[in-house]
Amino acid sequence: MNPVLQAIHSRRSTRAYRPEPLKAEELDTILEAGLYAPSACNGQPWHFTVVHDRTLLDHMSEVCRTGMAASGQDWMVSMAKNPEFHVFYRAPLAVVVSGLKDGLCPLVDTAAAIQNMLLAAESLGIGSCWLGLARFFFASPQEVRKLDIPEGYDPLYAVSLGYKAGPDAPAPARKGRPIRHLYAPKA
């Protein structure tokens, strides 16, 4: 298997990290991979905020827990009640990925950038997790101000990054093969 396919097949969401920071070159390589994602009309409508501050990450996690506890969704409420739960899984850093409000397809384009970063991380043996639950922090403009995101961008997702605390389990089997080859229109 070539290295790209190898990374695609072996990547898993990492939910336990070693505390030490990533080497700066490794972090740069991962961020650069995000910048090379495709985007509608080459708009590159993204901005990455790399949060290294432990206190801020812990605070963000607590704000999310509060939001999750009040969400009314059972699975989120029970996650929030677990005292061990941390939205960033205590990774040494998280990248907040923001999209340009006036972009053509900021949500799709930032998703492509995130996937590039996850695969780049995996290719370097670094753990990552795409974090939608960070939206509970992004819901508060007052909290978001602490992230110093440039004007005109909305925070959409976060990605935790760090050295893996243990080996990943293999990816579970796919749920079928929802693929159809069409060589002629349906009659």
Ligand X SMILES: Cc1cc2nc3c(=O)[nH]c(=O)nc-3n(C[C@H](O)[C@H](O)[C@H](O)COP(=O)(O)O)c2cc1C
Pairing between β-strand 93-100 and β-strand 126-131 as defined by DSSP bridges: unpaired
Q: Binding pattern to ligand X, positions 67-106, x when CB under 6 A? A: ----------------------------------------
Q: What is the 3-state secondary structure (H, E, C) of 77-109?
A: HHHHHCCCCCCCCCCCEEEEEEEECCCCCHHHH
Residue 6 contacts ligand X per CB under 6 A: no
Instruction: Indicate which single residue of 130, 144, 147, 165 sits in contact with ligand X (rule: CB under 6 A).
Output: 130
Instruction: Indicate which single residue of 56, 77, 104, 171 sits in contact with ligand X (rule: CB under 6 A).
Output: 171
Phi and psi torsions of 96, nearest 5°: -90, 125
Residue 13 contacts ligand X per CB under 6 A: yes
Residue closer to ligand X (CB basis): 100 or 131: 131
CA 172 to chain centre: 20
Q: Binding pattern to ligand X, positions 22-51, x when CB under 6 A? A: ------------------------------
CA distance 164 to 20: 10
Positions in the binding site for ligand X (CB under 6 A): 12-13, 15, 129-133, 171
